Structure 1
Amino acid sequence: MTRAPAQPPAKPTRRMRGFEPASGLLKDRIRVVGEKRGFAVTRLLTQWADIVGEDLARITRPVKVGYGREGFGATLTVLVAAVQAPMVQMQLPKIRDRVNAVYGYAAIARITLTQTAPTGFAEGQAQFDPAPPAPKPLDPAVQAKAHAAADGAKDEGLRAALETLAQNFLSRAKTQ
């Protein structure tokens, strides 16, 4: 009986040449950690503000997706400041519809709210973002000088950028 000729060893798989995006290096680790919490679709965590809107994202955080025995659909647990809980409770159907739109089917059947202090407790230490500060009104003289400085630009986008730059520079120079 003759032996089959020895096969050359398979070429080892190589990584991409050059730089790899950081998301590619961390994708598997983030997926494993997310799946431990029930987030099979990490988009729910990473794009929470886009899903529910900026106003709700400031006061809520998704914590866990639990698959129980209650039938079809999972339960999404959302962390919310105790003061904001009644307002969020009224918007739960809207939140559920938006989250299900991300999944593409009725994956979430129920949403439970977990009330906490604004800085959160123990694991996770949820930090709720404060409302953005209101823009300060600009002095009309500064606006006029900025408009005059950017008046020579023909492109509208460039003119707006130059005017904003001039307003920032003139308003800072005035306070110093």
Structure 2
Amino acid sequence: MTNDGPGPIPDESYRWSRKGRRMRGFEAASGLLKDRIRSAGESRGFAVTRLLTHWPEVVGEDLARVTRPVKVGYSKGAFGATLTVLVKPTDAPMVQMQLPRIRDRVNACYGYAAISRVTLTQTAPMGFAEGQAQFLAPPPVAPPAPPPEILAKAHETAEGVQDEGLRRALEMLAANVLTRRRT
């Protein structure tokens, strides 16, 4: 018997997509998690999962560092939903002033005026949902560059060294030492 088909029958090592086509290579992680994120989001009222997955892009980096969306509640007979946002008690007064901005940006994400109210729930960063809500610290600030006269003196100090890497390291060390003496 000859086999005129495309080849042997695929075994368990082949993966098949939902549409019946064979998947080739790696599958994107977002594709694997899309259904789980959607079901978790829908259980908390989020019709648009992008609000959960792209929160920093929706509200901005400054607000995303101190807030997390918790749920969207729909009341009977009223137009618009209520978005509940988690915030640390120390940041709540500043976030309270930003509520109209949050509402406008979330509605822009939905594409229409889906959210009519935004409420805050306050808790410690590790006290909500068994430590799952973690607020990010602000990015570290780079130290200011030393003045040009200190850089010139540091370059002069390491001038006789032939190895380029060692010379740069000695210049940095000299600049640090000279800067500390100055203050």
Give the TM-score taking structure 1 as reference length: 0.70
SS at match of 1:82: coil
CA distance in 1, matches of 2:80, 2:51: 16
Structure-2 separation of matches of 1:32 and 1:171: 57
Cα 1:28/1:135, change in 2 over 3 Å:
same
Alignment check: 8 A CA contact 2:55 2:64 kept: yes
Residue identity in the other structure for 1:73: G
The Cα shift of 1:119 comes to 2.6
Deviating more after overlay: 45-54 vs 105-114: 45-54
Equivalent residue for 1:41?
48
CA shift digits 1:32-62 (9 cap, x unpaired): 1111111121111111111111111111110
For 2:81, the equivalent position in structure 1 comes to: 74
Instruction: Find the aligned partners of 1:28 and 1:63 in 2 and give their Cα distance.
Output: 19
Distance 1:172 1:118, change over 3 A: farther
Q: Distance in 1 between matches of 2:129 and 2:35?
A: 26
Match of 1:109 in 2: 116
Q: Deviations over 1:115-172 (max 9, x none)?
A: 1113333445311111222111234429x97xxxxxxxxxxxxxxxxxxxx9xx7499
| Displaced runs of 4 or more, over 3 A | 122-125, 169-175
Give the aligned length. Answer: 141
Amino acid corresponding to residue 127 of structure 2 in structure 1 = G
Query: How many Å separate the matches in 1 of 2:171 and 2:134?
Result: 31
What percent identity do the matched residue pairs reach?
A: 70
Gaps of 5+ in 2: 1-18, 156-164, 177-183
Q: Distance in 1 between matches of 2:133 and 2:31?
A: 26
In structure 2, how many angstroms separate the alpha carbons of the residues matched to 1:108 and 1:124?
Answer: 27
Matches within 5 A, 1:2-151: 13-69=20-76, 71-123=78-130, 125-139=132-146, 140=148, 141=151
Bigger Cα Rg: 2
